[in-house]
Structure 1
Amino acid sequence: MLATPWICRSCIRALAKPRSSPLAFFRRASTDASASLPPALLQRARKLRAEHDQLEVSQSENFDPKTARRIGELSSVVSALSDWEAAQSSVTELTTLLSSPDAELRQLASEELSTTQTQLSTLSRQLSVSLTPKDPFAHMPCLLEIRPGPGGLESRFFADSVFKMYKQYCAYMGYRAVALKYEMADGAGSASTSAGEEPLQEAVLEIKDAGAYGLFRGEAGMHRVQRVPDTERSGRTHTSAVAVWVLPSFPDSHEAAGGGGGDMNVDDPASDFYLDPAELRIETMRARGAGGQHVNKTESAIRMTHLPTGTVVSMQDSRQQSRNREDAWKLMRSRVALLRREAREEQAARLRDNVLAKHKITRGDKIRTYNYSQDRCTDHRSGVDVHNLPDVLVGGESLHRIVDSARTWLATSDIAAMMAEEESKAAAAEGGQAARKSKK
């Protein structure tokens, strides 16, 4: 054989000679790459590809918008699976060449195999991501609800900092943000901190850009602060917490929602955002607290109760009752939509508990710590530490790094949850088959 400085992949395969026992090499080279894609996941991908192919056939005969939307949803899985199978096939072929008697061919195959295995690992991750069910609200705008948690007045002060932090972060990201509600605590008087923090009772920040929910959904949870309050004379560090809720927001127009189909139609009883007026109790009352002349004189405040769930929303920030009513409807739709989604996911969550119990995040968990004395912000899920607290609190690049790490953690958790669910289904199916065989 002539010495050549380079041989293309196709030429290498063409020169391959069948060997009597390539399996040992195959096991050694490809096991690690394949291990990242469990059989249950691969089976799910192939089922979805079969569904995609069947839908394309039916669509060619009779066009249907819903079918077209489903085909679009499955196309990423089909593409990722095709790429993964091609890489897996290349690994198998190149591994066979490692047993070639030609030393130069073995070296070329070894080099190509290393690159292909790296590609296969990346493609395994991409296929897993494509198989993960997308959050149905990810493309929508969102509402951030911020309330003080344990810690008394100090938690109210920090709640104000968290509200301002997210508002400035929206400006940093180029998002449009509007305060729907910004209510001070009763009885706090004119108390404030040296940093200009006010004793916040509750705030609702509306982020109007499509995709905002997908960006901010990882911010939901308890945010813990460790610092020395202005009123602490002995210099002792106090710990308090602030609760943050992230809700999908139905936008003012369908286009602003980034699409979404009929399930986003507020007039459709099948939509998560639909509210039956007969199930709502709406009360008007006088606004309370410090403010202009309308306070305690006009009934501009609105309190809305969703009777089936007991969800209560109150709005009084605007002097116009019509504006408060509109904002109350918006917040109520978001809260009820999230409750309906959570109810549907309870069964799936139970299937995942055995795998994700120690990682599962609830509203009572402390997801993040802001430590003033150490100039540190730590996300307890992703494990990312940032030692630039001032930049975090003004919504700068340091906060973006934290938020992005939480998004990555959520994506990884979603993949693990989906894998656990598929494995649970596969185990249940195997158990059912074994039971039927034993009866025979």
Structure 2
Amino acid sequence: MFNAPWICSRCLSRSLRLIQQKSWSQQLRFSSTALSPEVSISPVLLNRARSIADEHASLTSKLAESFNPKTAKRVGELATTATALKEWDKAHESISELNALLEDSSTDSDLRSLALEDLQTTTASLSVLSENLKQALIPRHPFADLPCLLELRPGAGGDEAGIFANELLRMYTMFCANRGLRATLLKKESENAGASGGSEDRLAEAVMEIETPGSYETLRTEAGVHRVQRVPATESKGRTHTSAVSVVILPSFPRNGEEGDGELNFDDPNSDFYIDPREVNVEKMRASGAGGQHVNKTESAIRLTHIPTGIVVGMQDSRSQHENRRKAWQLLRARIAQQRREAREEEMVKLRRGAMGGVGKMGRGDKIRTYNFGQNRCTDHRSGLTLHNLVDIMEGGEGLKKIMASVRGWLVDQEVGNVFAEEQMKLARETDKAKGNS
């Protein structure tokens, strides 16, 4: 039998570690030289980031000379991108310096070992820094810091759609309670509520106000068509029915327009969200449904019609006409603001598609999520996430939170694609202009 020479286990471990470090060093030496900005992040996006950083530096210098509120606000908006780019550049500089140290034959073994560890750590962090930089390039949604209104309307599916709409209202109410978001029900109408045999379980329409600032950003993942697949309680043959509910997320503006910031000030005629009162037809009427003699004798209900767009808002939930008027105006402003915002976004989508087949956008009429009770499954069709815990989701628990987080990740990818498409369009225009001048 062949007798292998005895080797100290400690020495063997040390030798293997040195071999692994040498192999890792060689891999990094070749990969890190190729690890240029073009590899870890698109040159187009990097060019956008450097332009923003230059603007940030220029405005910061101006701000040091004389204070200007608008300049200060703009500096704050650009700071995130400038900081993310600075950290990204710092990581690349560190990788270059560490590679140079490892390639230097005069570097001693201890320093080489430390440099190798730093190189591994810095390289591993580069993907996170690149992702942070991409997210920093995404323009913040103009309604992101606002409270929001959540609208629910049953769609196809008859009674089952109304029942599921009521369950979704409960789900979002519990979600807000679990997350500490202040929520108030502005409007709730049940199908056939005024007729005999009407059921409070079948929702016709509901509007909930989430008063916490920033709730628009939290809940905008929920806008779209929610589909339910299950056997209704009224189904005698055990057949699975498919129903749908539309969820709309709208911005909720301050009650006093002057509290709004700049372009969000709906009392300012120069604001995108200003509504000329002369373009709104106001009707006073008696409320319908439960309420006794007070409902029958007073005109407490209000209906507003925005003539240019045809948007109609009715409100009768309160016994006070003044309160119904306030709520109706709040909802009308929100719907018109969202419509104007969507029109601008759709115009950008058309420009991107026309220029280079750029990234599109899911609208409020797109099916975004399916709740399959037979399979205990909830699938979001944007992020692709599927969870098998419907009870927790319908109670506004961690499952719903996970789904919403996955959609936010999907939104980031979509918006990064939009930024990329816009930069490509900009470069194409500059190229065409240069050719025309030559």
Q: 2:124 aligns with which of 118, 122, 128?
A: 118
Question: Is 1:234 matched up with 2:237?
Answer: yes
Query: Are the aligned partners of 1:225 and 1:371 in contact in 2 as well (CA < 8 Å)?
Result: yes
Equivalent residue number for residue 417 of structure 1 = 418
Structure 1 position 289, deviation (Å): 3.0
Distance of aligned partners of 1:164 and 1:130 in 2 relative to their CA distance in 1, 3 Å threshold: same
Distance of aligned partners of 1:88 and 1:32 in 2 relative to their CA distance in 1, 3 Å threshold: closer
Map 1:307-318 → 2, pairs under 5 A: 307-318=307-318
Equivalent residue number for residue 158 of structure 2 = 152
Distance of aligned partners of 1:222 and 1:412 in 2 relative to their CA distance in 1, 3 Å threshold: same
Q: Which amino acid aligns with 1:262?
A: G
Q: Which amino acid aligns with 1:248?
A: P
Per-residue CA deviations over 1:269-328 (Å, capped at 9, x if unaligned) read: 122332211111111112123443334443211110111222111111111111110000
Q: 2:225 aligns with which of 206, 222, 225?
A: 222
Number of residue equivalences = 406
Structure 1 position 375, deviation (Å): 1.2
Per-residue CA deviations over 1:206-234 (Å, capped at 9, x if unaligned) read: 00010100100110000000010111111
Per-residue CA deviations over 1:225-271 (Å, capped at 9, x if unaligned) read: 0010111111010001000000000134689x8xx622232321122
Map 1:302-341 → 2, pairs under 5 A: 302-341=302-341
SS in structure 2 of the partner of residue 356 of structure 1: coil
Aligned mates of 2:128, 2:37 — CA distance in 1: 9
Per-residue CA deviations over 1:149-178 (Å, capped at 9, x if unaligned) read: 111111111111111111111111111111
Equivalent residue number for residue 12 of structure 2 = none
Stretch deviating more after TM superposition (166-175 or 58-67)? 58-67
Question: Is 1:211 matched up with 2:217?
Answer: no
Equivalent residue number for residue 175 of structure 1 = 181
Query: Are the aligned partners of 2:257 and 2:267 in contact in 1 as well (CA < 8 Å)?
Result: no
Stretch deviating more after TM superposition (74-83 or 246-255)? 246-255
Runs of 4+ in 1 over 6 A off after TM superposition: none
TM-score normalized by the length of structure 2: 0.86
Equivalent residue number for residue 136 of structure 1 = 142
Equivalent residue number for residue 55 of structure 1 = 59
Query: Are the aligned partners of 2:376 and 2:388 in contact in 1 as well (CA < 8 Å)?
Result: yes
Query: Are the aligned partners of 1:225 and 1:370 in contact in 2 as well (CA < 8 Å)?
Result: yes
Determine what percentage of the aligned residue pairs are the same residue: 51
Per-residue CA deviations over 1:114-156 (Å, capped at 9, x if unaligned) read: 2212222211111111111000110010000100111111111
Map 1:283-294 → 2, pairs under 5 A: 283-294=283-294
Distance of aligned partners of 1:235 and 1:29 in 2 relative to their CA distance in 1, 3 Å threshold: farther
Structure 1 position 421, deviation (Å): 1.5
Equivalent residue number for residue 276 of structure 1 = 276
Equivalent residue number for residue 370 of structure 1 = 371
Map 1:375-390 → 2, pairs under 5 A: 375-390=376-391
Aligned mates of 1:225, 1:210 — CA distance in 2: 31
Q: 1:96 aligns with which of 79, 97, 100?
A: 100
Aligned mates of 1:93, 1:389 — CA distance in 2: 52
SS in structure 2 of the partner of residue 434 of structure 1: helix
Aligned mates of 2:307, 2:192 — CA distance in 1: 27
SS in structure 1 of the partner of residue 275 of structure 2: coil
Query: Are the aligned partners of 2:371 and 2:379 in contact in 1 as well (CA < 8 Å)?
Result: yes
Per-residue CA deviations over 1:8-34 (Å, capped at 9, x if unaligned) read: xxxxxxxxxxxxxx9x95665443774
Aligned mates of 1:77, 1:175 — CA distance in 2: 29
Query: Are the aligned partners of 1:160 and 1:200 in contact in 2 as well (CA < 8 Å)?
Result: yes
Distance of aligned partners of 1:26 and 1:52 in 2 relative to their CA distance in 1, 3 Å threshold: farther
Query: Are the aligned partners of 2:32 and 2:95 in contact in 1 as well (CA < 8 Å)?
Result: no
Aligned mates of 2:215, 2:234 — CA distance in 1: 37
Query: Are the aligned partners of 1:267 and 1:274 in contact in 2 as well (CA < 8 Å)?
Result: yes
Show structure 2 runs of 5+ residues with no match. 1-25
Aligned mates of 1:426, 1:183 — CA distance in 2: 52
Show structure 1 runs of 5+ residues with no match. 1-21
Query: Are the aligned partners of 1:148 and 1:202 in contact in 2 as well (CA < 8 Å)?
Result: yes
Distance of aligned partners of 1:351 and 1:37 in 2 relative to their CA distance in 1, 3 Å threshold: farther
Structure 1 position 349, deviation (Å): 2.0
Distance of aligned partners of 1:34 and 1:254 in 2 relative to their CA distance in 1, 3 Å threshold: farther
Query: Are the aligned partners of 1:368 and 1:379 in contact in 2 as well (CA < 8 Å)?
Result: yes
Aligned mates of 1:189, 1:36 — CA distance in 2: 66
Structure 1 position 49, deviation (Å): 1.6
TM-score normalized by the length of structure 1: 0.86
Question: Is 1:165 matched up with 2:171?
Answer: yes
Structure 1 position 106, deviation (Å): 5.6
Equivalent residue number for residue 8 of structure 1 = none
Q: Which amino acid aligns with 2:148?
A: C
Query: Are the aligned partners of 2:186 and 2:207 in contact in 1 as well (CA < 8 Å)?
Result: yes
Stretch deviating more after TM superposition (397-406 or 308-317)? 397-406
SS in structure 2 of the partner of residue 273 of structure 1: coil
Q: Which amino acid aligns with 2:416?
A: I
SS in structure 2 of the partner of residue 240 of structure 1: strand
Aligned mates of 2:421, 2:30 — CA distance in 1: 28
SS in structure 1 of the partner of residue 206 of structure 2: strand
Alpha carbon RMSD of aligned pairs, Å? 2.4
Stretch deviating more after TM superposition (34-43 or 150-159)? 34-43
Equivalent residue number for residue 344 of structure 1 = 344
Q: Which amino acid aligns with 1:39?
A: P
Aligned mates of 1:352, 1:125 — CA distance in 2: 23
Aligned mates of 1:27, 1:387 — CA distance in 2: 41
Aligned mates of 2:207, 2:119 — CA distance in 1: 54
Per-residue CA deviations over 1:172-216 (Å, capped at 9, x if unaligned) read: 111111111101123775355xxxx71111100000010100100
Equivalent residue number for residue 83 of structure 1 = 87
Q: Which amino acid aligns with 1:221?
A: G
Aligned mates of 1:34, 1:430 — CA distance in 2: 20
Map 1:423-438 → 2, pairs under 5 A: 423-437=424-438
Aligned mates of 1:30, 1:118 — CA distance in 2: 15
